[in-house]
Amino acid sequence: MLARLFLFAALMITEVLIMNLVQAMHISKNYFWLEIFIDAGTVAVVVVLITRYLLRTGRLTPRMNLRRESMQLQAGVFAFGIEALLMLIFPLFTFTTHHQLIILLDGILFASLTLLVVHYYLATGSNENPQVPTVKAQKSALKVFLLVCYLFCLSLFLLFLINMTQQQKQIHITQLIDQEQQQLSLIKENLTHQVYDATLDTLILARQVNLQNVLINQPEALSELTTDYINLSEIKPSYEQIRFINHEGLERLRINQDYQGQLVVTEDKLQDKSNRYYFTDAFHLNPGEIYISPMDLNIEKGRIELPFKPIVRTATPVSDSLGNKQGIVIINLNASELLKQLKLSAKTSIGEMMLLNQDGYWISGREQDAAWAFMFPEFKNRTMEKYYPGVWKTISANKNGFLKTPDGYFVFETVETSQPLLALNSSGQKQQHPVWKLVTLVRPEIIAADLSDVSPPLGLFFIMVTLVTGIGALMYYRVQHNNIKAQQKIHHLAHHDPLTGLCNRRLFSQVLELELARTKRHKGSLALVYLDLDNFKSINDVYSHSAGDYVLEQFSERLKLILRESDTLARLGGDEFAAILPIPGTKEHLEVIAQRIIHTFKEPMIFNEQSLNVGISIGIAIHYNGQPMESLLHEADQAMYEAKKAGGNGYRFDR
């Protein structure tokens, strides 16, 4: 018991230490098989050393017919297989517990399973029984052993393929995520670059000489400023509107961009924008600061313009020579081109491309039900949080990354329109500018479709390996079965009489020694019967040795019918036989057995139509407590000679 506890503790501590050591090596997950080999190989060596120590100190005893070297080797092989199995199973499960607890659990499982194998398979059995198992028993044991080994190895191979598939899947997913993140990064740079260009143009317009001349009502200044705005509008067709709005919120100059080209809005069609959020927000800034509006739909005369026209506005205050703010310059950047480029880029993406504002509303994506929902009061609840609960919380809290959900992988990037403007911020104050979220949803079926080409070949490979190894195991079984039969035959010839099939003198002595030990241990009884044929030599001389062999065969068969299955009958040589009778009963019982034997041999034996009569002399010795084997043999032999001296065909007891 103490040896088992010592083995369990040693195995568990060894496994925990080795696992921590392997973890400290930081082996790449791509080489998970190397980590398994190092861990399993190391613990296998340690198990061999521990088993060797326990064998040398006598704390473990190999099972019958298993040498110490074989036990050490098998213990190492089993330990290697068990640890490899555990290390292939653990990665298939997701654990939320602490990493050290997982290592401890692995150590306990490894130590328990290895101890069970060593205790119940390698170290059980008794060396007291010298008899070799029958061919049937060895055949059954071989079948079970090969079947278990075959299934165990197949399980290891299957788990290895599953882990390899999982590893390849994870690598594939990582590559897809990296690809999508690079794609989103390029789109982000394009979006910020176009907004940045518009802000630079806005600052330039605010500092124009012609605009300053308009502020002091210089003749022809408005006409020259109009020409400047038209020229810029021609160069930048994405500028939907370029306007100058005075400090009262009234449009003084407005250039529209439409399908016919640049259009100067007449004075009677200029509008009051004093109540629009972009005017109030921009006018409150300091000169030189930039206002960037959220992306929304253009509104004309109080209504959303159709078809939808997404707009981003860049504006900055305009001041006169005395530093007094006189209005704002504002550019309406038509974001339709931005969204077109976004959808064009989405064609190279494997996921669903989306653009959302900082409140989680769709700007691009879900055009059928949720795009621009924030512009319509009745659809204000159509946010990402509604369709994908919990996702927006993570996306809004991080600048970039990815998130795994049941719907797939959300890969996201943050578009900060203020980032390029930090160098242009003359006031040094941090301004709030729109933030957009670029998101790609890679659905599970897309990932599964990319990996679908790998599964059939791996399945076919596993089936082929199963068949090939199964045929190999079957052939190995047949070879080993023939070896067992040959060994059993050799053993039988070495321990049995070739003529009668009874035990020979060598095996008889071993069985008698075992029975004497059992009698001593259980305080039982034992009788030894010596039998010798009378006038057997004359049969050989008169009727030939073939007749003598026939008599010996018939003699052994008749004795088998009289004796019990628990009794051991042996031919010691020539016409001399002996029988071991455990728990024989009383002396009267032994007399009945002796009389039955004598009576049986009164019937003649027929050989080649000739009647052969033989007699038998029987000597019976009853074992007494403490009597050695040599003394018991001598007593039975002497009793047999007494019976023969009395004329034969009778029996005598040793006392």
**Amino acid (one-letter) located at 66:** L
| Alpha helix stretches (DSSP H) within 500-628 | 505-522, 536-543, 545-562, 587-600
H or E element at residue 641: helix 629-645
Three-state SS annotation for 278-347: HHHHHHCCCCCCCEECCCEECEECCEECCCCCEEEEEEEEEECCCCCEEEEEEEEEECHHHHHHHHHHHC
Cα dihedral sign, 539-541-547-550 = positive
Active-site option among 106, 532, 534, 575: 575
| Alpha helix stretches (DSSP H) within 90-208 | 99-117, 135-206
Q: Tell me, yes or no, if 575 is annotated catalytic.
A: yes
Which tokens in the block code for residue 392? Answer: 């927006």
In order of 27, 38, 48, the CA distances from 22 in angstroms are 8, 8, 20
Residue 419: CB partners within 8 Å, gap ≥ 6?
A: 192
What is the spatial distance between Cα 176 and Cα 448, in angstroms, rounded to a whole number?
A: 12
What is the spatial distance between Cα 414 and Cα 436, in angstroms, rounded to a whole number?
A: 6
Which tokens in the block code for residue 397? Answer: 């809290």
What is the spatial distance between Cα 363 and Cα 569, in angstroms, rounded to a whole number?
A: 99
What is the spatial distance between Cα 48 and Cα 79, in angstroms, rounded to a whole number?
A: 9
What is the spatial distance between Cα 567 and Cα 560, in angstroms, rounded to a whole number?
A: 9
Residues annotated as catalytic are: 575
